């Protein structure tokens, strides 16, 4: 079912998306993150200890609408594939950017600027994912929050899929002392961001974001506090 959902988006909608959204929707478990190998589809459930440590995940919708097919989303995929082909001249064993090590930074730096930036984001983001899993396993939310910040900066600067409104939301959220980290989420070019916020600071965050974001953009954001939920289930109805 997960693969069929991805295929529908790839072939019918026309977006060359991955499989993460479909996978977590089906395989997610309450109060857990999911660490997924998108090549083998092997996965590991990782406890997300936010609530028990006094923190909440807050989703803020920028209300900037995006059209993925008409955006540069598919272009990013094509640029990553082009970077792989260029790197294969020196690294013939690689088939995707996940096979490239940070030790190959010199080769990455020799790529044309756009390809260099795309490759650098993917390679460093994969490292951040590994560090993020470790941080969650060790209940180290400060490190996890810092990784969120680093991820957004890479998405903004190297992958270039953020936008003014998302950057503004991250800026406002991270200016508050109770926020450990924030990043855009999803495909970018609009949509939402997430912030890891102390539970007793959530109301202050909601007030400041609503006031400042609306004042600077003329848009009233949507703000949701959520926790990791159960994925798809089957239920017999009599």
List the pLDDT tens digit at each of the 238 positions of the chain. Answer: 777 877 887 788 777 777 777 777 887 788 999 998 989 989 999 999 999 999 999 999 999 987 654 567 889 999 999 999 999 999 999 999 999 999 999 999 999 999 999 999 999 999 999 999 999 999 999 999 999 999 999 999 999 999 999 999 999 999 999 999 999 998 889 999 999 999 999 999 999 999 999 999 999 999 999 887 788 766 677 7
Two structure tokens written together for 121: 């984001």
The domain limits of the chain are 1-47, 51-68+162-238, 73-160
- Identify whether the C-beta of residue 121 lies closer than 8 Å to the C-beta of residue 112: no
The domain 51-68+162-238 is classified under which CATH number: 3.40.50.720, 3.30.70.3170, 3.30.70.360, 1.10.3720.10? 3.30.70.3170
Two structure tokens written together for 8: 């529908």
Q: What is the pLDDT of residues 63-79, one digit of tens each?
A: 998 765 456 788 999 99
- Distance CA(26)–CA(143), nearest Å, equals 28
- Identify whether the C-beta of residue 148 lies closer than 8 Å to the C-beta of residue 194: yes
Residue 73 is predicted with a pLDDT of: 80
What pTM did the predictor assign?
Answer: 0.89
Catalytic residue set: 21
The domain 73-160 is classified under which CATH number: 3.30.70.890, 3.40.50.720, 3.20.20.70, 3.90.1150.10? 3.30.70.890
Residue 69 is predicted with a pLDDT of: 47
Q: What is the pLDDT of residues 95-131, one digit of tens each?
A: 999 999 999 999 999 999 999 999 999 999 999 999 9
- How far apart, in Å, are the Cα atoms of 8 and each of 3, 16, 20? 9, 10, 14
Q: Identify the bridge partners of residue 182 per DSSP, sorted by sequence position.
A: 195
Side-chain half-sphere exposure of 155, counting CA atoms within 13 A? 27
Answer yes or no: same fold for 51-68+162-238 and 73-160: yes
């Amino acid at each position: 079912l997960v693969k069929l959902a991805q295929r529908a988006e790839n072939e019918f909608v026309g977006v060359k998306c991955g499989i993460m959204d479909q996978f977590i929707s089906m395989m997610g478990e309450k109060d857990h993150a999911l660490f997924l190998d998108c090549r083998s589809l092997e996965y590991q459930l990782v406890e997300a200890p936010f609530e028990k440590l006094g923190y909440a995940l807050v989703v803020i919708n920028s209300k900037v609408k995006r059209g993925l097919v008409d955006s540069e989303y598919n272009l990013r995929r094509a640029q990553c594939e082009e970077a792989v082909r260029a790197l294969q001249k020196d690294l013939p064993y690689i088939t995707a950017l996940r096979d490239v090590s940070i030790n190959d930074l010199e080769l990455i730096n020799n790529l044309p600027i756009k390809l260099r930036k795309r490759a650098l984001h993917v390679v460093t983001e994969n490292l951040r994912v590994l560090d993020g899993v470790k941080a969650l396993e060790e209940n180290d939310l400060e490190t996890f929050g810092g990784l969120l910040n680093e991820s957004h900066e890479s998405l903004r600067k190297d992958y270039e899929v953020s936008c003014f409104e998302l950057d503004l939301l991250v800026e406002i959220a991270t200016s508050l002392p109770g926020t450990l980290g924030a990043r855009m989420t999803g495909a970018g070019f609009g949509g939402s961001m997430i912030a890891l916020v102390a539970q007793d600071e959530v109301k202050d965050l909601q007030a400041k974001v609503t006031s400042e974001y609306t004042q600077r953009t003329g848009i009233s954001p949507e703000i949701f506090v959520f926790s990791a939920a159960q994925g798809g289930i089957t239920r017999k109805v009599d």
